[in-house]
Structure 1
Amino acid sequence: MSNKNNDLDSVYQRIWEAIVAHKLLPGTRLKEEDLSETFGLSRGFVRKLLLQLSHHKLVNLVPNSGAFVAEPSPEEAREIFQARRLIEAELVRELASTCTAQDKRLLQEHVAREHQAFAEGQQSLRIRLSGEFHLLIGKLANKPVLTSFLHEIIPRSSLIIALYPGPGPLKGKARHAGVSCSEHDGLIGAIGAHQVDKAVRLMIDHLNEIEAQLQLEPAGEEDVDLKAIFAQP
């Protein structure tokens, strides 16, 4: 029984990572047969896995249609970022109060991997590392309950970023990656210097910036030049 539970946890983690890295995008259908063959699991085991993912709001189970990667609504997106601000403000407050040289080194090593992935154009890896940076703050702050909540909503944040990319030349994965690198560096500086209030402010500003880049409002009506559209070639 323990081996089966370990298998379930392992596959769940792989799907979690694929969502965080934007390899599984919102609306993607997760076929039981494909998952069964990919991971060498029984169909019953796959159903249990999909049910667990649905409980964590990462998958929608649609009767007579199947399982699909969740597509959070704009209202849910705003609530997710509100929750992140509340949780992560407390995590960074705690870590900035207690940060050791070892803690700072671990954060710096992690962000160095983010910079390398970004420089090499490995955007999926870069985005996954970005989410893991926030979880690392929770782990180092030694707040397992708050960190467990964060572990649930980080993938939902990634779905939101993939679903609602903002306007402009940089969208989705590249846009999110570009924002985070330097801001994570700034956070480490404040945390390592025990600048508690500054670290909290930087974390909230960081999350606000990510949310602000999303297109959560419907696009405004624009005048359409019908003559140009239907002009004869």
Structure 2
Amino acid sequence: MNHKNTELDKVYQRIWEAIVAHKLLPGTRLKEEELCETFELSRGFVRKLLLQLSYHKLVNLVPNSGAFVAEPSPEEARDIFQARRLIEAELVRELANKCTLREKKLLQEHLEKEHQAMAQEDQSLRIRLSGEFHLLIGKLANKPVLTSFLHEIIPRSSLIVALYQRGARKAHHHGGLSCSEHNDLLDAISGHHTEQAVQLMIDHLNEIEAQLQLEPPIEETLNLKSIFAET
């Protein structure tokens, strides 16, 4: 039983990473037979996996249609970022109050990986590492309950970014901005500048949300006569 749970966790983690890296986009159908072949699993095992993904709001199970990577609504997107601001403000506050040289080094090493991914223009890896930076802050803050919530909503944040981010150029620009903001966060955390670190985290999450097109486009009144007028 323990072996089965471990195997389930491993496959769940791989799908989670694919979502965070935007390799599995919102609306993608996850066919049971393909998952069975890909991971060499039984159909019953795959169904258990899909139920777990559904429980964590990463997959929608549609009767008579199958399993699909979730497509969060704009309202859910706003709620997710509100939750992240509340949770991560407390996590960064806790870490900034007690950050040791060892914890600073761990954050620095992670940021070096982010910069390497940025330099190599590996967008999927950069996105995954960016999410993992936030999780690392939670882990080092030693607040397991809050971090478990964060572990659940960061993949949903990634789905939201994949669905609503405004254009590839802005996404690339935001990648550089994200690395810079993570550097500033590290400086504030390691320097024990607690309130500055909290505000930087809130600003950072606000900036990510600001890059999203959550409002419907404004409908322009069309003048059919002018469109089809003879010239």
TM-score band, normalised by shorter chain: over 0.9
Percent identity of paired positions between Structure 1 and Structure 2 = 77
How far residue 82 of structure 1 moved from its aligned partner, in angstroms, is: 0.3
Q: Deviations over 1:35-73 (max 9, x none)?
A: 000001000000000000000000000000000000000
Unpaired runs of at least 5, structure 1: none
Q: Deviations over 1:116-162 (max 9, x none)?
A: 10110100000000000000000111111100000000000000000
Would the aligned equivalents of 1:179 and 1:210 in 2 still touch at CA under 8 Å?
no
Pick one of 193, 196, 202 that aligns with 1:195.
193
Q: Distance in 2 between matches of 1:230 and 1:105?
A: 65
Question: Which residue of 1 is the match for residue 215 of structure 2?
Answer: 217
Would the aligned equivalents of 1:95 and 1:140 in 2 still touch at CA under 8 Å?
yes
Q: Distance in 1 between matches of 2:226 and 2:20?
A: 42
Question: Which residue of 1 is the match for residue 169 of structure 2?
Answer: 170
Amino acid in the other structure paired with 1:212: A
CA separation of 1:229/1:68 partners in 2, compared to 1, >3 Å: closer, same or farther? farther
How far residue 226 of structure 1 moved from its aligned partner, in angstroms, is: 5.7
CA separation of 1:225/1:117 partners in 2, compared to 1, >3 Å: closer, same or farther? farther
**TM-score, normalised to structure 2's length?**
0.95
Question: Which residue of 2 is the match for residue 208 of structure 1?
Answer: 206
Alignment map for 1:95-106 (pairs within 5 Å): 95-106=95-106
Amino acid in the other structure paired with 1:170: R
Question: Which residue of 1 is the match for residue 183 of structure 2?
Answer: 185
Q: Distance in 2 between matches of 1:15 and 1:219?
A: 32
Question: Which residue of 2 is the match for residue 32 of structure 1?
Answer: 32
Amino acid in the other structure paired with 1:153: I
Are 1:152 and 2:152 an aligned pair?
A: yes
How far residue 179 of structure 1 moved from its aligned partner, in angstroms, is: 2.7
Would the aligned equivalents of 1:87 and 1:146 in 2 still touch at CA under 8 Å?
yes
Alignment map for 1:43-122 (pairs within 5 Å): 43-122=43-122
Would the aligned equivalents of 1:127 and 1:176 in 2 still touch at CA under 8 Å?
no
Aligned positions, number: 231
Runs of 4+ in 1 over 3 A off after TM superposition: 222-232
In angstroms, what is the RMSD of aligned CA positions? Answer: 1.8
**TM-score, normalised to structure 1's length?**
0.94
Other structure's SS at 2:67 match: strand
CA separation of 1:9/1:101 partners in 2, compared to 1, >3 Å: closer, same or farther? same
Other structure's SS at 2:169 match: coil
